[in-house]
């Protein structure tokens, strides 16, 4: 059986996103964005990029850095159902972006779903 990894946008929850890394000050950020969202970010930064100097590459992540997250394969409809169930069950989390792992796990346990296959 094949396992497919789907990266969803942190902004919209849409699939087929990729990680974008950028820095501001002394802090580096990562966000998963669709190609359209990445272009919007680049467009928003364009006036700053035109007058900026390139810096060296960021330092590699420390060995203890968190690993890339794997998003369970779900449909948009299932994610909406999970969000509705979680709110009714008293879980609190952001309206947008990814569903927290603990909420996904609680939903799966409550519904007898095994996503390890």
pLDDT given for residue 46 in this prediction: 93
Q: How far apart are CA 4 and CA 77, in angstroms?
A: 19
Domains and CATH numbers, the chain: 1-58 (3.30.60.230), 76-110 (4.10.320)
pLDDT per position as a tens digit, 63-89: 665 555 556 677 888 888 999 999 999
The 10 Å Cβ neighbour count of residue 29 is 9
Q: How confident is the model at residue 32 (pLDDT cuts 50, 70, 90)?
A: very high
pTM of the shown model: 0.46
| Residues 9 and 32: beta-carbon distance below 8 Å | yes
């Amino acid at each position: 059986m094949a396992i497919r990894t789907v990266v969803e946008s942190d902004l919209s929850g849409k699939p087929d996103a990729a990680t974008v890394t950028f820095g501001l000050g002394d802090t580096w950020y990562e966000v998963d964005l669709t190609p359209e969202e990445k272009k919007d970010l680049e467009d928003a930064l364009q006036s700053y990029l035109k007058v900026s100097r390139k810096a060296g590459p960021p330092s590699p992540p420390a060995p203890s850095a968190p690993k890339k997250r794997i998003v369970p394969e779900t449909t948009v409809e299932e994610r909406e159902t999970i969000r509705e169930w979680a709110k009714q069950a008293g879980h609190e989390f952001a309206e947008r972006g990814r569903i927290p792992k603990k909420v996904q796990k609680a939903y799966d346990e409550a519904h007898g779903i095994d996503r390890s296959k």
